[in-house]
A and B are shown apart, each in its own frame.
Chain A
Amino acid sequence: EPEVTQTPSHQVTQMGQEVILRCVPISNHLYFYWYRQILGQKVEFLVSFYNNEISEKSEIFDDQFSVERPDGSNFTLKIRSTKLEDSAMYFCASKPKYPGRSTDTQYFGPGTRLTVL
């Protein structure tokens, strides 16, 4: 069964550095999402992406964040200047779109644990 994949599994960076988190959604999916989960807390929405543009973003997703789909398979989240409070698990998710049939199920990747020192 196809799965969403993410790399790296763990990223350690210094405060102020840029990081890029990478995701490969399931191949026939058209909706893409980033969520984050601070240790011990709930999963929080960051951004959704469809048709090569952001469709919705949360208050967390400020100017330090950006997303990109550089080719037909990858979906990336960039944090330009990391802060200590950006330390979290970042999950990518994707959702299919079938002609004439709606589906709402989002499939999550394994996550990237970002540690900002």
Chain B
Amino acid sequence: GENVEQHPSTLSVQEGDSAVIKCTYSDSASNYFPWYKQELGKRPQLIIDIRSNVGEKKDQRIAVTLNKTAKHFSLHITETQPEDSAVYFCAASRGSSYKLIFGSGTRLLVRP
């Protein structure tokens, strides 16, 4: 069935270091891969997304890479700051009106 695996479940980095979160999806028809940041008690906020016709996308300190052959996609945060501390969820979708299938989340802690 449709599934998204996400690793690691927790990640602690020193301020200024990079953080990488990895996801694997099972549905080969997936073509849209968003990343959401969720702070405690708040709504998931889209931070970056990528579509299957693109291998990499960057927005300032955040980048996402996609390997369709391996069904892997990753989130890269460079020069991490304490305010990056949150839970990050990857998701996959077939696009259009289709649902988002979420990963289990990664709790990122950036130590000052």
A residues neighboring B (CB under 8 Å): 31, 33, 35, 41-45, 48, 50, 55-56, 58, 91, 95, 102, 104-111
Residue contact A108 to B99, C-beta cutoff 8 Å: no
- CB-CB under 8 A from B105, the residues of chain A are 42
What number of A-B contacts does a CB cutoff of 8 Å give? 56
Does B44 interact with chain A (Cβ within 8 Å)? yes
How many residues in B have their beta carbons less than 8 Å from beta carbons of A? 24
Beta-carbon nearest neighbor of A40 in chain B? B105
| Residues A102 and B96 in contact in the complex (CB < 8 Å), given A108-B43, A111-B43 | yes
Beta-carbon nearest neighbor of A50 in chain B? B97
- CB-CB under 8 A from B42, the residues of chain A are 110
With both chains docked as a complex, state the minimum distance between the C-beta of A52 and any C-beta of chain B, in angstroms. Answer: 13
Does B45 interact with chain A (Cβ within 8 Å)? yes
- CB-CB under 8 A from A95, the residues of chain B are 97
Which among A33, A43, A56, A91 has the highest number of chain B CB atoms within 10 Å? Answer: A43
- CB-CB under 8 A from B16, the residues of chain A are none
Top 9 A-B residue pairs of the complex, sorted by shortest distance between their CB atoms: A45-B99, A104-B32, A43-B102, A108-B43, A42-B104, A42-B102, A110-B43, A104-B95, A108-B44
Residue contact A104 to B99, C-beta cutoff 8 Å: no
With both chains docked as a complex, state the minimum distance between the C-beta of A109 and any C-beta of chain B, in angstroms. Answer: 6
